[in-house]
Amino acid sequence: MASPVLIGFLTAMTLIAAIGAQNAFVLRQGIRGEHVIPVIAVCAISDLILIAAGIAGVGALITAHPDAVLVAKFGGAAFLIGYAALAAKRAYRPSTLNPSEKAPARLAEVLITCAALTWLNPHVYLDTVVLLGSLANEQREQRWLFGVGAVTASVVWFVSLGLGARRLAGLFATPSTWRVLDGVIAVTMAALGVWMLMS
């Protein structure tokens, strides 16, 4: 029988690796090489808090109060659609990785955006808190070992995505490649926002 740590790792990895606003943002920051470590830290620490909350039973409270999920749903959808508009604007006027053309975004702006993409997404609560929390609690007394595996998967994923993206920097030295990436990000986030409103 597989260990709770391995089950937690594999379960969390399948959820985290899905294409979404947070992953698209981490990828973009990784390619640009801007504040990558702080962004990875925000994502990993957020997942740690959310997974621990789910295991501790907060998922049951969220399920019992659907109004809280509804508020997060509309707020998150509005944020995603707004960010999609910004990505579409960047795709219309793409930049390159030439640091002399544009100064890096300020750390505070990057971290606020990263935190918003994480905490304003209701699907983060449904996937991480409710689903992972429920699966972890099926492990009964070993539920925290499941949590260790899930948090490890989060750290491995975001470190790989953020630091691994830097290898693509040469490819993204031309405006046309950024246009494609920002176009994909715009479509993805707009679709997620609309889907969030419709679901």
Q: Are the beta carbons of 80 and 195 closer than 8 angstroms?
A: no
Q: Are the beta carbons of 156 and 16 closer than 8 angstroms?
A: no
Apex 101 CA angle, 97 and 103, nearest 5: 85
For residue 98, name the pLDDT band (cuts at 50, 70, 90).
Answer: very low
- Counted domains in the chain: 1
- The domain containing residue 40 runs over which residues? 4-198
- pLDDT surpassing 60 at residue 124: yes
The pLDDT value given to residue 82: 82
- pLDDT surpassing 60 at residue 38: yes
Lowest mean pLDDT of 43-52, 91-100, 118-127, 177-186, name the range.
91-100
Whole-number Å distance between alpha carbons of 191 and 195: 6
Q: Which of 17, 25, 13, 21 is nearest to 146 (CA)?
A: 13
- pLDDT surpassing 50 at residue 99: no
The pLDDT value given to residue 101: 41
Q: Are the beta carbons of 154 and 12 closer than 8 angstroms?
A: yes
Give the residue with greater pLDDT, 162 vs 19.
162
DSSP track, the chain:
---HHHHHHHHHHHHHTS--HHHHHHHHHHHHTSSHHHHHHHHHHHHHHHHHHHHHTHHHHHHH-HHHHHHHHHHHHHHHHHHHHHHHHHHHS---S-TTTSPPPPHHHHHHHHHHHHHT-HHHIIIIIIIHHHHHHTTGGGHHHHHHHHHHHHHHHHHHHHHHGGGGTTGGGSHHHHHHHHHHHHHHHHHHHHHHHH-
Query: pTM for this structure?
Result: 0.71
- pLDDT surpassing 60 at residue 169: yes
